[in-house]
């Protein structure tokens, strides 16, 4: 990660000058025929189809600058979108990034944000890169990313394909990001409950892994292709809580997802309620090989909703309009 180059803020420079600083830091995309510099990019889609998704991160409901560094924001913005592409069984190919920031935000922060984007793509989805985007001014720091993916001839894996008797499995961490979020809300705040950078810095020293899981998650992006190749019948990115997102598969497929408490580990509350690890939840036909990296957590059964050891549960998790509604957050 590069160190800040100077103390300039966005309001000191023209847009072209800012772009000239960040373009060299952004990852190139192997699928790009025409990259940044024209009115639009041109991306190869040899499959004849492509997967596309978009997501926003807004200061306040989605992150706090007292908790997250610009580098972490770039990493997380890339990781969350790459995971959505992977959940369709596609390989991420390109990102389009829009950033609206206050005029007094340091140019060095934008450079660090670009570094986070680049290093996340390099680590999680080699070959995927930034092919364009937009810069604007806003009193509220806002990040919007559109991600593209290549199905490479595979059928997309939808939420609606789970069937009675399928095996439910998950790839990635479960509950680590929720633990990090709880630490931030309980120990990364001042006496009035406001996010505090100094207390967060102490947490970074004392609980580095827990905070990293929340602020810079590492989703198992390659596991999406592995699951599709193994015959996954349904799949999604676990962003809002394992139980809440499992209910989405259950509703789309007209089935019930029954979790086995013994498979969830020592703390099923965090495992079921936490979601920002951005793991992949998938269902597989009975007898199908379960890809490396996935752990069996339960079964698809006849019925509706989500259950734990056969007993119906009310899924907790994240809702953008009401926040966390469970004890994991």
**pLDDT single digits (tens) 81-92:** 999 999 999 999
- Domain positions in the chain: 10-150, 159-179+216-324
User: Which residues are annotated binding-site positions for Mg(2+)?
Assistant: 39, 53-55, 84, 134, 237, 240
**Mode of pairing for the β-strands spanning 311-312 and 91-101:** unpaired
Mean predicted confidence (pLDDT) in 176-196 = 94
Mean predicted confidence (pLDDT) in 258-263 = 95
**pLDDT single digits (tens) 114-140:** 999 999 999 999 999 999 999 999 999
Q: Helix crossing, 107-124 with 15-22: angle to 10°?
A: 40
User: Which residues are annotated binding-site positions?
Assistant: 39, 53-55, 62, 84, 133-134, 159, 237, 239-240, 276, 318
Question: Percentage of the chain with pLDDT > 70?
Answer: 94
**pLDDT single digits (tens) 22-31:** 888 888 888 8
**Mode of pairing for the β-strands spanning 305-308 and 256-259:** parallel
pTM: 0.89
Dmax over CA atoms of the chain, in Å, equals: 62
DSSP annotation of 173 reads -
User: Which residues are annotated binding-site positions for substrate?
Assistant: 62, 276, 318
User: Which residues are annotated binding-site positions for ATP?
Assistant: 133-134, 159, 239
CATH class of 159-179+216-324: alpha beta
Give Cα separations from 16 to 10, 129, 306 (angstroms): 11, 20, 51
Residue 18 reports pLDDT greater than 90: no
Q: Average pLDDT over the chain, rounded to whole?
A: 91
Domain 10-150: CATH superfamily is PurM-like, N-terminal domain (3.30.1330.10)
Q: Residues 26-59, buried b or exposed e (16+ Cβ, 10 A)? A: bbbbebbeebbeeeebebeeeeeebbebebebeb
- Residue of 193 and 265 predicted with greater confidence: 193
Residue 178 reports pLDDT greater than 80: yes
pLDDT of residue 233: 98
Residue 11 reports pLDDT greater than 90: no
């Amino acid at each position: 990660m590069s160190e800040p180059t100077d103390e300039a803020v966005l309001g000191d420079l023209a847009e072209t000058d800012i772009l000239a600083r960040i373009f060299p830091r952004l990852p190139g995309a192997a699928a790009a025929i025409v990259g940044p510099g024209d009115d639009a990019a041109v991306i190869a889609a040899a499959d004849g189809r492509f997967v596309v998704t978009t997501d926003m991160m807004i200061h306040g409901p989605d992150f706090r600058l007292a908790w997250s560094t610009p580098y972490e924001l770039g990493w997380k913005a890339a990781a969350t979108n790459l995971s959505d592409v992977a959940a369709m069984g596609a390989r991420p190919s390109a990102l389009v990034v829009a950033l609206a920031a206050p005029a007094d935000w340091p140019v060095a922060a934008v450079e660090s944000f670009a570094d986070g984007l680049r290093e996340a793509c390099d680590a999680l989805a080699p070959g995927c890169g930034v092919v364009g985007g937009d810069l604007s001014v806003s009193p509220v720091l806002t990040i919007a990313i559109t991600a593209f993916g290549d199905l490479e001839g595979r059928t997309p894996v939808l939420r609606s394909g789970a069937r009675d008797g399928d095996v439910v499995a998950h790839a990635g961490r479960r509950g680590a990001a929720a633990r990090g979020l709880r630490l931030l809300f309980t120990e990364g705040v001042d006496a009035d409950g406001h996010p505090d950078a100094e207390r967060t810095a102490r947490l970074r020293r004392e609980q580095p892994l827990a905070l990293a899981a929340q602020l810079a998650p590492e989703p198992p992006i390659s596991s999406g292709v592995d699951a599709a190749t193994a015959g996954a019948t349904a799949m999604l990115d676990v962003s809002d809580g394992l139980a809440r997102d499992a209910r989405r598969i259950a509703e789309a497929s007209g089935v019930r997802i029954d979790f086995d408490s013994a498979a969830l580990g020592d703390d099923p509350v965090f495992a079921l309620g936490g979601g920002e690890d951005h793991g992949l939840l998938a269902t597989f036909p009975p007898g199908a090989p379960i890809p490396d990296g996935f752990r069996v957590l339960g079964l698809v059964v006849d019925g509706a909703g989500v259950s734990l050891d056969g007993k119906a549960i009310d899924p907790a998790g994240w809702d953008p309009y009401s926040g966390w509604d469970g004890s994991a957050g």
